Structure 1
Amino acid sequence: MNIQRYGIIIAFFALCIIVTIIGEIQILRGKWDYNYFLSQGNMLIVLRQLSINGILAIGMTFVIITAGVDLSVGSVLALSSIVAARFATTNTGLSWTGTVDAIALPIIIALGIGTICGLINGTILSRFKLQPFIVTMGMLSAARGLTLLSTDGNPVSQLNENFRWIGKGHVMGIPVPVLILVFVFISAWILLNKTKFGRYVYAVGGNPKSARTSGINVNKIKILVYTLCGALAGIAGIILAARTGSAQTDAGNAYELDAIAAVVIGGTSMSGGTGSLVGTLFGILIIGVLSNALDLLGVTSYYQQILKGVLIVVAVLIDSSRKSSRD
């Protein structure tokens, strides 16, 4: 077995086994009545919670494979969420009463906003040869400012039930956000692994000069990649607003870090050219299971943030070690 290829999968199942054992120990010590971690209800909670960051991480995977990074996804999520929510609540007078319109219109608006923000990011950094870090940091600030400006800093609440179904509904017992994540993952996997566009994404990340020499429009690929990432941030914003029943101006804070963490932990190289969506998926699962287990054990969020930071650094060190061994 290729440990480098399957290491992330092994790590995930090892983590699940460890958490399960800890749960059994807690039962023996009389602190738990049963192993709640293994319950179907808890598994669905974990999947529902990680669906938003999962969708962001999928978009981030495309960006990082091209040797870029998008720090604006959290703010774009918030902007998409709060503007779309204004068309799904009676508080603003913009809500549509029809069931289809109440769902379709906010979705179209959120997707449009996310797509436009991503398009701006990709266009500026590719046309003017600027660093993705700088451009997307600018968008992070601008999108957050527009989020606050759009409602004078106030949240948008009392979203209609038709729209909230996106975040709280079930289909055959499976939460709708989980189904959306699965659909996005399958579509993105096909796009990255079975199309010419996917091959170009890897080529641009691996060696942009060689890609350009081979006739690949490097600027176009980068623009499309950042546009895709922005669109997925819009989808994530829809789910977050629908799940919580309101759109908050501070939504999405540090979500970009969670997305980057999942991608890096999943084995995608920050230097570009290598990575996989399957690895990202297991990176998302590891973060989700770990956070859930720490919550069940009563560990505060402060320690969780520290642990997440350690995981990122370790993943980057492993990636650096692999790159050095290849060189």
Structure 2
Amino acid sequence: MEERLNNRQINVKNILLKYNAVLILIALIIASTILSDAFFTVTNIFNLLRQLVPMTLATLGMLLVVLTGGIDLSVGSVTAMGGMITAIMIQNAGMVSGASMIVILIAVLGIGFLIGCMSGAFVVVLKMAPFVATLATMTIIRGAAYMTSNGQPIRLSSEYDTSAMMVKFGSQGIPGIGLPWPVVLIIVVIVLMWLVMRNTVFGRLVIASGSNETAVRLAGINVNKYKFFAYAICGMLCALGGFILTSRVAVASPAVSTGMELDAIAACVIGGASLMGGKGSVGNTIIGVLVLGLITNVMTLLSIAAYPQQIIKGLIIVLAVFLQYITNKEGAY
């Protein structure tokens, strides 16, 4: 009898440790529902999901880099640049037809990919530490974003068909359901990312390169190639986030997404990813994004200032890291 009780206690403890991110999310949902009547409404939930799309894209990109044992501080700057390129092409480059939206999207993705390649080259070719390399990219791209607009926001003009389509895409949803189009897009991206990480050689080797780089190299695999493309894909996802952010607010600013890199890192950590590399999953990372988003959302509904939000975010990050440490320690025995 005593042995059964001990086994149950161990099982409960293991569940609490293994699914701590899920439990934190559930606790936040329950607390938010109790604290604010406006929280669990369709309008608020859809608005929350729509607002989290750029952040989710940046965090998925960050996850790829973190899995290789690196870090990318440029995600906020690349998101801002993606938005600036979108607005400039609509306003100043003659992109005035509805069909031009596809051209703009391809251009934004391409520029984001090239920026990611620059970070990847700094890390892989120049052998710079990821922190320093992406800090340089962050500074360069943020400065370029300011230069392209002379430091001023660019508002989408309603006289262009592309602007109308962009705003419609960012603010409206599926007829009859109301699910926002950006949320539909991010669901597709999440599923694709999940499939890539679980079922492709690329996904497995990205994880392996962060888990045991020496062993992967000894197996004759070019680790640098996978690191390089992790940064490149991260840049592409962040630029897509800028495109979607511009469609939602109908304005592009070189100052947007400042500090996004810290939230992206925090979401990865809350989701159980290890900053040492080799550990992390798409599902848990999305949970981390939702945890941070819920904190901001419920505090906004309660009219709480931004500064306390930062304190609570920090405390939750500490809790998540502490639980991760305990989980790793328990797993060592």
Q: Please report the TM-score for the alignment, with normalisation by the length of structure 2.
A: 0.90
Distance 1:270 1:319 in 2: 11
**2:167 match:** 164
**1:284 match:** 289
Distance 1:6 1:306 in 2: 24
Q: Which amino acid aligns with 2:76?
A: G
Distance 2:252 2:266 in 1: 25
**2:6 match:** none
Query: 2:18·2:327 contact (CA, 8 Å) conserved in 1?
Result: no
From 149, 152, 158, the counterpart of 1:151? 149
**1:84 match:** 86
Please report how far the alpha carbon of residue 110 of structure 1 lies from its aligned counterpart in structure 2 after TM superposition. 1.2
Q: Which amino acid aligns with 1:56?
A: A
Structure 1: 5+ residue runs without aligned partners? 24-34
**1:69 match:** 71
Aligned pairs (5 A) from 1:217-228 = 217-228=222-233
Query: 1:85·1:106 contact (CA, 8 Å) conserved in 2?
Result: no
List per-residue Cα deviations over 1:94-129 (Å, max 9, x = no partner). 13232111x112212211111001011112201222
- For residue 183 of structure 2, give the secondary structure of its aligned residue in structure 1: helix
**2:303 match:** 298
Query: 1:80·1:109 contact (CA, 8 Å) conserved in 2?
Result: no
Aligned pairs (5 A) from 1:114-263 = 114-159=112-157, 160-172=163-175, 173-263=178-268
Please report how far the alpha carbon of residue 325 of structure 1 lies from its aligned counterpart in structure 2 after TM superposition. 4.3
List per-residue Cα deviations over 1:113-146 (Å, max 9, x = no partner). 1100101111220122221000000000000111
Q: Which amino acid aligns with 1:193?
A: R
Q: Which amino acid aligns with 1:95?
A: G
Q: Does 1:313 align with 2:318?
A: yes
From 1, 8, 23, the counterpart of 1:10? 23
Bigger Cα displacement from structure 2, 220-229 vs 153-162: 153-162
Structure 2: 5+ residue runs without aligned partners? 1-10, 158-162
| Number of aligned positions between the proteins | 312
Aligned pairs (5 A) from 1:24-43 = 35-43=37-45
Query: 2:273·2:280 contact (CA, 8 Å) conserved in 1?
Result: yes
Q: Which amino acid aligns with 1:5?
A: K
Distance 1:252 1:19 in 2: 25
- For residue 171 of structure 1, give the secondary structure of its aligned residue in structure 2: coil
Distance 1:5 1:66 in 2: 22
Q: Please report the TM-score for the alignment, with normalisation by the length of structure 1.
A: 0.91
Q: Does 1:44 align with 2:67?
A: no
Q: Which amino acid aligns with 1:57?
A: T
Query: 2:79·2:238 contact (CA, 8 Å) conserved in 1?
Result: yes
List per-residue Cα deviations over 1:201-257 (Å, max 9, x = no partner). 110010111111112211000001001100000100001111111111101100111
Bigger Cα displacement from structure 2, 312-321 vs 279-288: 312-321
Query: 1:63·1:70 contact (CA, 8 Å) conserved in 2?
Result: yes
Distance 2:242 2:230 in 1: 19
Distance 1:292 1:51 in 2: 14
Distance 2:298 2:144 in 1: 36
State the identity as a percent: 34
